[in-house]
Amino acid sequence: MESTDWLLDSLIEKTGMSAEKITSLIDKKLSEFPALTRDAALRMLATENGVMPIRRSYHVGDVSEEMNHINLKASIKRKFEPRQINIKGTPSKIINLLLEDQGHTISAVVWDSKKVDYLIENASAGDEISIANAYSKKNKINDGIELHIGSNSAIKLIKTPDSKSENKPLFQRIADVKDDTKIYNLRCLLTRIFTNNLFLVKCDICKKRVVDKCEEHGDKALSKMLFLSCIVDDGLSSIKASFFDKTAKKLLAISAAESIDEKLRDLSFGMYELELVAVPNNFNNTVSLNVKDVKQADYSL
Ligand SMILES: [Zn+2]
């Protein structure tokens, strides 16, 4: 197993035994303890021979040339463009990183194509990287110490808080809706539609809602606007949500039924799960939602 190769190296170094001798000792252990994995047998053998299966952690500043089994954590100061090179006649992709820790920097070269691809996809400057079982070498061209990360090494990225915030929950909870200067994203079930008053009358000149006619402009510029008052529920709490005009039409369009009446009935009893973009409306100490956009919940994420 790749993860314990370093242990095998340490055993060879420490005991002077050949790899073949160690393999035969592992086989003996396995015959004594058939439930053991090969890895576990190797660990057992290592411990018995004074090779502790605990690897030391280094800082960048500790790394000198020709060291093996280096574990360290550092931040990626710079990620270079990957390069294509030939290793023993085979074209391979490598990537260089400049790592920093406690004010020291070291350049690292990553050889293993899986790790190179992982870093191309995921790493960005500022991320922390945790490295296990790397080795160091002097770069013959510039005389600097380089950290080498190959197929026997392991790496893990630890994202910085900044990049983490992109992964914050997509949806807020109804119970947390209060600030009417904010826009909220909610995922909730439509549990009720009030169907007694489906239209609002508006005067298009003063853009105000009116009852029958505008006090100022009479019935010169009255228009009817679709209005749906609903209750939505996110499983923890419910809230009144108002859909106006285009947003109300968008809500109705979620139902495949033909007429408005059928759509309303379908939506009221269909247990539709919705994603809402809404602003709170505080009125008489009661918060309701003014829905700005609606769509059926999307589970493809
Ligand atoms: Zn008016």
Nearest to 191 by CA among 270, 254, 249, 256: 270
Q: What pLDDT, on the 0 to 100 scale, is given for residue 162?
A: 52
57-164 and 174-296 in the same fold: yes
Q: Which CATH class is domain 57-164?
A: mainly beta
- Going from the Cα of 244 to the center of ligand 1, the distance in angstroms, rounded, reads 19
One DSSP character per residue, 147-190 reads EEE-TT-EEEEE--HHHHGGGS-S-B-GGG---TTS-EEEEEEE
- Going from the Cα of 218 to the center of ligand 1, the distance in angstroms, rounded, reads 7
- Going from the Cα of 162 to the center of ligand 1, the distance in angstroms, rounded, reads 49
Compute CA distances 99 → 108, 159, 164, 205, whole Å.
7, 15, 20, 64
pLDDT in single tens digits along all 301 residues of the chain: 345 677 788 888 888 889 899 999 999 988 988 877 787 788 788 878 877 655 567 889 888 888 888 888 999 999 999 998 887 888 889 999 999 998 899 999 999 888 999 999 899 888 999 898 899 999 888 889 999 999 888 898 887 655 444 455 678 999 999 888 899 999 999 988 988 888 888 898 888 888 888 989 988 888 888 999 999 998 888 999 999 999 999 999 999 889 999 999 889 876 788 999 999 998 888 899 999 999 998 765 4
State the residue for tokens 């023993």: 88
SS (HEC) of 77-133: EEECCCEEEEECCEEEEEEEEEEEECCEEEEEEECCHHHHHHHHHHCCCCCEEEEEE
* Token pair for 228: 């749906």
Q: What pLDDT, on the 0 to 100 scale, is given for residue 170?
A: 79
- Going from the Cα of 203 to the center of ligand 1, the distance in angstroms, rounded, reads 5
- Going from the Cα of 201 to the center of ligand 1, the distance in angstroms, rounded, reads 11
- Going from the Cα of 163 to the center of ligand 1, the distance in angstroms, rounded, reads 50
In this prediction the pTM is 0.45
Q: What pLDDT, on the 0 to 100 scale, is given for residue 300?
A: 52
Residue 93 near residue 83 (C-beta atoms within 8 A): yes
In the chain, % helix, strand, coil (3-state, to 5) comes to: 25, 40, 35
Q: What pLDDT, on the 0 to 100 scale, is given for residue 301?
A: 41
Q: What pLDDT, on the 0 to 100 scale, is given for residue 291?
A: 97
Q: What pLDDT, on the 0 to 100 scale, is given for residue 2?
A: 43
Distance CA 197, CA 168 (A): 38
State the residue for tokens 């309701």: 288
Looking at the DSSP bridge assignments, the partners of residue 241 are: 230, 289
Relative to beta strand 90-101, strand 104-110 is: antiparallel
Residue 215 near residue 201 (C-beta atoms within 8 A): no
Superfamily of structural domain 174-296: Nucleic acid-binding proteins (2.40.50.140)
Q: What pLDDT, on the 0 to 100 scale, is given for residue 53?
A: 54
Q: What pLDDT, on the 0 to 100 scale, is given for residue 52?
A: 62
For the chain, give every domain's residue range.
Answer: 2-48, 57-164, 174-296
| 60 Cβ contact partners less than 8 Å away, ≥ 6 residues apart | 72, 74, 99, 100, 101, 102, 104, 105, 106
Q: What pLDDT, on the 0 to 100 scale, is given for residue 259?
A: 92
Q: What pLDDT, on the 0 to 100 scale, is given for residue 68?
A: 82
- Going from the Cα of 248 to the center of ligand 1, the distance in angstroms, rounded, reads 23
